[in-house]
Chain A
């Protein structure tokens, strides 16, 4: 337990610290200036990033697009030629036995500006229509996943928001905040449900909806895990979980199990119906576990630990066994998160990848079975805390301490379908500015 972690690997906290590192002063009054500066920086920075990639064509095209948005025809033709070449290179995939791709080609499509502090969580809605992002600036923003349009800014939390979770019907969002409460938000109206979930006596750090949407499980800095009745906004059950702040929590796909993890290095699996601990997973090194997720089929647990590893656990067989360790990212300080995604073709040839943020400002995609890094997405300018994958499309959203949400798209496997319509969009990054003219009052002053 070193000191750097001990105060908290808290997303909100660290975001504050980052705020100080960032030279740009955050002014409530002059909202116009930050906008301008943001777009200016965008025009500069991606170029540098792309030149690093040795992809000069990309580079040029990027510049063209950013400099003169009118020259759409150029860019479109550019994109077509590129996608064709890529299709040629992937042509073996259409043969009966396609080889497993050994790299992925996610490209930036959108940059969503608007948050005034670091982004702590990004989640696609289960129906794939929306992206929700939570930030240390006490707000949650709902963006259209297709256009990047800012739909709502959910305001009401009195402190930074650590985590969000979509209800299974995509109509509600639950958010956990440093103000110790959990709130439910209606997506259509953008309003908070009048009764917050009060009960935790420290920062709410992680929450997850049950697959039916009737229960919510929350992990807190007060070391407790609460199971809530969503309808009545009351604690149903308190799980005597951990002896350190609970970092991550997740429901299995049929809702019968809950997994929780904590800084004490334990991952515990709980029976939802009885509230009993069914399994405890500990790695020998006992590194603090900051985030957990069940695999899409519920048979494995993916855990993020502060020794720069992601571990995939088979929690069912025997006493539980770590079956994979993914390395290549950096994770010493923050509680990063990520998601499972798929690539390849239809189910027999469908493979799974894991996407995670990293403190070296990248997003790393690993193949689940081979543990090989499939791609590193570069673009964020500070640690990437939150990564999520789209439920059906090849889309990744990420958020980090640099206050922006980035959306990445891979045309792999679906370019026949979408190229005609979406081809233009994928030419370059679309910068969406979600800054409102009037900023909400900042409750804690400057």
Chain B
């Protein structure tokens, strides 16, 4: 509701400018904003998932269940469930209502990425290391895994002419990244041979394949509308592709021709890109750079570089754009901090008093004819009261006309506010050991919890672990 009061020039800015803050809880490795944009999930190097409250910049919840670094995070559409995939070959679905582990799915290999279905939080797709991607149904306690194919779809003629070598190569292809389209009807999958496959989530068949490059496709991300896709591959080029409406029944995948819209690359320094993401509207593409401290921001209209976000003294890995604000979060590789870029709003001093006006140039003050006329107070009061005859409506709630579509529904999930979260998240994790004396926290202190509840599959374990942690802190 603040939008009507904020300076329109500030609102018109849609690209972050400067570092406005940083978050820290352990060593973060991957981050993801919730759909409503009030929470930021951060997966840590030690396997703990931390939920940050973006409004307070504080920790809202800690989720314990992984034993190794978190690889990917995915929120359900209502922001109640969070799917985390870790290097311990597990994917965990968390219920943020109570912080419990709803489901734990084990795999036989490492997980690159696991993404929740946008309309069904009991379905997710995962890309596995040197294995075929799987669509996992976790509505029952025992997960049902459907293996998907990585071999690109070939026309009949191509298949007939295929050499044995090509067939063998196709069979050897594995998928490195999978994402759902916003409708949930299709899965976009990138392979290690540079193919982009569109897979039907219903029939599990590959509908369309497109070869983009000879190198590995590292990451794929869609806009909220699902019509634009950005692809990061190891050939140091970030590509964007405009997709047709995939849910359109008239769409014929056999005749579909997709073309790369933009190729973003740094030809001079030959930079390679760690992670890419879209701005909410898809207008901008951001990428963090390998062995470099910068985040590149390109705009898609002209395909030009518009900004380089800087200010950190470390390489950045995961970079994420807030779902509706000009706000970018990125993870520092060395420190594990989360850096935040946004826009600094200057205080408009005309807001400080009703008779202040901000003017471009000096105005000569012209006194009104009746300015110093003395009028009887009573009369002024009476006139003033008589003028107050308009109808006021203090009840009707106007629907929001902003891009914040989630802000409008108050009935959505609201995460409970916990008061006893284990702190230990102070900047640089120092502990006071005496008057004026501090030392760094020993690196292993946060990990004791692993010894007691590892392997236990009870859903309530996440919470009990939290409580244990709290008690320990109090005692210590």
Q: Contacts A231-B60, A280-B353 hold; do A212 and B38 have CB atoms under 8 A apart?
A: yes
Considering only residues 334-375 of chain B, those with a C-beta below 8 Å from chain A are 345, 347-348, 351-354
Give complex CA distance A206, B447 in Å: 42
Give complex CA distance A215, B57 in Å: 11
Chain B residues lying within 8 Å of A135, measured Cβ to Cβ, are none
Give complex CA distance A271, B2 in Å: 7
Q: Contacts A212-B38, A231-B417, A352-B394 hold; do A236 and B57 have CB atoms under 8 A apart?
A: yes
Confirm or deny: B432 has a beta carbon within 8 angstroms of a beta carbon on chain A.
no
Contact check: which of A272, A278, A322 meets B55 at CB < 8 Å?
A272
Considering only residues 9-65 of chain A, those with a C-beta below 8 Å from chain B are none
Confirm or deny: B423 has a beta carbon within 8 angstroms of a beta carbon on chain A.
yes
Chain A residues lying within 8 Å of B353, measured Cβ to Cβ, are 280, 282
Q: Contacts A167-B417, A271-B5 hold; do A340 and B53 have CB atoms under 8 A apart?
A: no
Give the shortest distance, in Å, between A301 (CB) and chain B (any CB): 10
Confirm or deny: B311 has a beta carbon within 8 angstroms of a beta carbon on chain A.
no
Give the shortest distance, in Å, between A287 (CB) and chain B (any CB): 13
Chain B residues lying within 8 Å of A255, measured Cβ to Cβ, are 55
Are B394 and A214 neighbours in the complex by a CB distance under 8 Å? Answer: no
Chain A residues lying within 8 Å of B106, measured Cβ to Cβ, are none
Confirm or deny: B379 has a beta carbon within 8 angstroms of a beta carbon on chain A.
no
Are B5 and A316 neighbours in the complex by a CB distance under 8 Å? Answer: yes
Q: Contacts A272-B55, A320-B354 hold; do A231 and B421 have CB atoms under 8 A apart?
A: yes
Give complex CA distance A280, B396 in Å: 24
Are A184 and B416 neighbours in the complex by a CB distance under 8 Å? Answer: no
Confirm or deny: B59 has a beta carbon within 8 angstroms of a beta carbon on chain A.
yes
Are A256 and B2 neighbours in the complex by a CB distance under 8 Å? Answer: yes
Give complex CA distance A296, B60 in Å: 28
Give complex CA distance A213, B38 in Å: 13
Chain A residues lying within 8 Å of B3, measured Cβ to Cβ, are 256
Are A276 and B397 neighbours in the complex by a CB distance under 8 Å? Answer: no
Give the shortest distance, in Å, between B417 (CB) and chain A (any CB): 5
Chain A residues lying within 8 Å of B397, measured Cβ to Cβ, are 253, 296-298
Confirm or deny: A112 has a beta carbon within 8 angstroms of a beta carbon on chain B.
no
Binary per-residue interface labels of chain A (204-222) against chain B in the complex, 1 for a CB within 8 Å, 0 otherwise: 0000001011110000000
Give complex CA distance A316, B394 in Å: 13
Chain A residues lying within 8 Å of B158, measured Cβ to Cβ, are none
Contact check: which of B4, B58, B351, B388 meets A232 at CB < 8 Å?
B58
Give the shortest distance, in Å, between A410 (CB) and chain B (any CB): 17
Q: Contacts A236-B57, A276-B347, A297-B395 hold; do A254 and B421 have CB atoms under 8 A apart?
A: no
Confirm or deny: A229 has a beta carbon within 8 angstroms of a beta carbon on chain B.
yes
Give the shortest distance, in Å, between A172 (CB) and chain B (any CB): 8
Are A342 and B4 neighbours in the complex by a CB distance under 8 Å? Answer: no
Confirm or deny: B435 has a beta carbon within 8 angstroms of a beta carbon on chain A.
no
Confirm or deny: A140 has a beta carbon within 8 angstroms of a beta carbon on chain B.
no
Considering only residues 43-60 of chain B, those with a C-beta below 8 Å from chain A are 53, 55-60
Confirm or deny: A152 has a beta carbon within 8 angstroms of a beta carbon on chain B.
no
Give complex CA distance A281, B351 in Å: 9
Considering only residues 391-430 of chain B, those with a C-beta below 8 Å from chain A are 391-398, 407, 414, 416-419, 421, 423
Confirm or deny: B384 has a beta carbon within 8 angstroms of a beta carbon on chain A.
yes
Confirm or deny: A4 has a beta carbon within 8 angstroms of a beta carbon on chain B.
no
Question: Quick one: closest B residue to A318, CB to CB?
Answer: B354
Confirm or deny: B142 has a beta carbon within 8 angstroms of a beta carbon on chain A.
no
Confirm or deny: B1 has a beta carbon within 8 angstroms of a beta carbon on chain A.
yes
Give complex CA distance A369, B395 in Å: 12
Chain B residues lying within 8 Å of A314, measured Cβ to Cβ, are 392
Chain A residues lying within 8 Å of B407, measured Cβ to Cβ, are 254
Q: Contacts A212-B55, A231-B418, A232-B58 hold; do A269 and B5 have CB atoms under 8 A apart?
A: yes
Chain A residues lying within 8 Å of B53, measured Cβ to Cβ, are 214, 229, 231
Are A342 and B395 neighbours in the complex by a CB distance under 8 Å? Answer: yes
Binary per-residue interface labels of chain A (261-276) against chain B in the complex, 1 for a CB within 8 Å, 0 otherwise: 0000000010111101
B contacts with A: majority SS: loop
Give how many A residues have a beta carbon under 8 Å from the other chain's beta carbons. 59
Give complex CA distance A342, B394 in Å: 10
Confirm or deny: A202 has a beta carbon within 8 angstroms of a beta carbon on chain B.
no
Give complex CA distance A323, B59 in Å: 42
Are A213 and B2 neighbours in the complex by a CB distance under 8 Å? Answer: no
Chain A residues lying within 8 Å of B396, measured Cβ to Cβ, are 297
Give complex CA distance A213, B415 in Å: 9
Binary per-residue interface labels of chain A (313-352) against chain B in the complex, 1 for a CB within 8 Å, 0 otherwise: 0111001101111000000000000001010000100101
Chain B residues lying within 8 Å of A158, measured Cβ to Cβ, are none
Confirm or deny: B160 has a beta carbon within 8 angstroms of a beta carbon on chain A.
no
Confirm or deny: B12 has a beta carbon within 8 angstroms of a beta carbon on chain A.
no
Question: Quick one: closest B residue to A193, CB to CB?
Answer: B419
Are A279 and B55 neighbours in the complex by a CB distance under 8 Å? Answer: no
Binary per-residue interface labels of chain A (390-422) against chain B in the complex, 1 for a CB within 8 Å, 0 otherwise: 000000000000000000000000000000000
Considering only residues 1-49 of chain B, those with a C-beta below 8 Å from chain A are 1-6, 38
Q: Contacts A279-B351, A319-B354 hold; do A214 and B388 have CB atoms under 8 A apart?
A: no
Give the shortest distance, in Å, between B40 (CB) and chain A (any CB): 13
Give the shortest distance, in Å, between B475 (CB) and chain A (any CB): 14
Give the shortest distance, in Å, between A344 (CB) and chain B (any CB): 10
Chain B residues lying within 8 Å of A347, measured Cβ to Cβ, are 395
Give complex CA distance A203, B385 in Å: 36
Confirm or deny: B390 has a beta carbon within 8 angstroms of a beta carbon on chain A.
yes
Question: Quick one: closest A residue to B414, CB to CB?
Answer: A212
Binary per-residue interface labels of chain A (342-370) against chain B in the complex, 1 for a CB within 8 Å, 0 otherwise: 10000100101000000000000000110
Chain B residues lying within 8 Å of A281, measured Cβ to Cβ, are 354
Confirm or deny: A431 has a beta carbon within 8 angstroms of a beta carbon on chain B.
no
Give complex CA distance A163, B388 in Å: 32
5 tightest Cβ-Cβ pairs between the two chains A and B:
A295-B394, A256-B2, A278-B5, A229-B56, A213-B417
Known contacts A278-B2, A278-B348; 7 further A-B pairs (Cβ under 8 A): A169-B417, A184-B419, A236-B56, A271-B6, A271-B345, A278-B5, A297-B394
Jot down 25 A-B pairs with beta carbons below 8 A, ordered by A.
A169-B414, A169-B416, A212-B55, A213-B414, A213-B416, A213-B417, A229-B56, A232-B58, A233-B419, A236-B57, A254-B1, A269-B5, A271-B2, A276-B348, A276-B351, A278-B5, A279-B5, A295-B394, A296-B397, A297-B393, A298-B397, A342-B395, A352-B394, A368-B392, A371-B388
- Give the interface of A toward B (CB within 8 A): 167-169, 172, 184, 193, 210, 212-215, 229-233, 236, 252-257, 269, 271-274, 276-282, 295-300, 312, 314-316, 319-320, 322-325, 340, 342, 347, 350, 352, 368-369, 371
- Give the interface of B toward A (CB within 8 A): 1-6, 38, 53, 55-60, 345, 347-348, 351-354, 384-385, 388, 390-398, 407, 414, 416-419, 421, 423
